[in-house]
């Protein structure tokens, strides 16, 4: 695709990919918060006005207007108002974020990054197993009398090695020749 449609498609794919990475990150915070018993008020992908939401159990799940981010809102945790964590009633509520031990809070906060690392590793395994298209290192033409012709290289032969270095794809061939 070229022009506006190609550009729009690229932006859409970027937004979906970024949204998925954000989802995985926030899912890490959410899962660990639930696991340690913290009340999660909202799980949101995006910021700003809520476009669509539903409630399942005690948590509201939301999709918000600005897609570049997301958050997990836990009882007693308010990044816009850090004083919220010092309220005495929240410190006494066993399901609030401030009432959790330091190791539990560290686990909740670290879970997002850890999920991104796990996701990256799993995505790498998937791509490695499925494969990525590439241009093989094949001989396009051979001039009569050239050194390649003299040693019997023919059009369509696959180049597998240069100076002891393995060559799989055309880009590797170019790099090996240049270096």
Active site residues: 26
* Strands (E) located in 57-150: 59-74
CA 85, CA 99: separation in Å to the nearest integer? Answer: 9
Please name which of 113, 112, 115 lies closest in space to residue 123, comparing C-alpha atoms. Answer: 115
Q: Which residues contact 82 (CB under 8 A, 6 or more apart)?
A: none
Structure token pair of residue 136: 């093989």
CA 92, CA 18: separation in Å to the nearest integer? Answer: 38
């Amino acid at each position: 695709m070229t022009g506006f449609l190609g550009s729009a498609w690229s932006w859409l794919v970027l937004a979906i990919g970024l949204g998925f990475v954000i989802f995985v990150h926030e899912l890490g915070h959410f899962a660990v918060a639930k696991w340690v018993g913290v009340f999660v008020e909202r799980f949101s992908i995006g910021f700003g006005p809520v476009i669509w939401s539903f409630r399942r159990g005690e948590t509201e799940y939301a999709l918000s207007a600005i897609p570049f981010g997301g958050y997990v809102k836990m009882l007693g945790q308010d990044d816009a108002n850090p004083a919220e964590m010092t309220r005495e009633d929240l410190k006494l509520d066993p399901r609030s974020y401030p009432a959790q031990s330091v190791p539990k809070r560290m686990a909740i906060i670290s879970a997002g990054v850890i999920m991104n690392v796990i996701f990256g590793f799993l995505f790498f395994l998937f791509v490695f197993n499925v494969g990525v298209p590439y241009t093989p290192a094949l001989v396009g033409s051979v001039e009569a009398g050239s050194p390649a012709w003299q040693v019997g290289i023919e059009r369509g032969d696959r180049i597998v090695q240069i100076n002891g270095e393995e060559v799989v794809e055309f880009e590797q061939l170019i790099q090996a020749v240049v270096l």
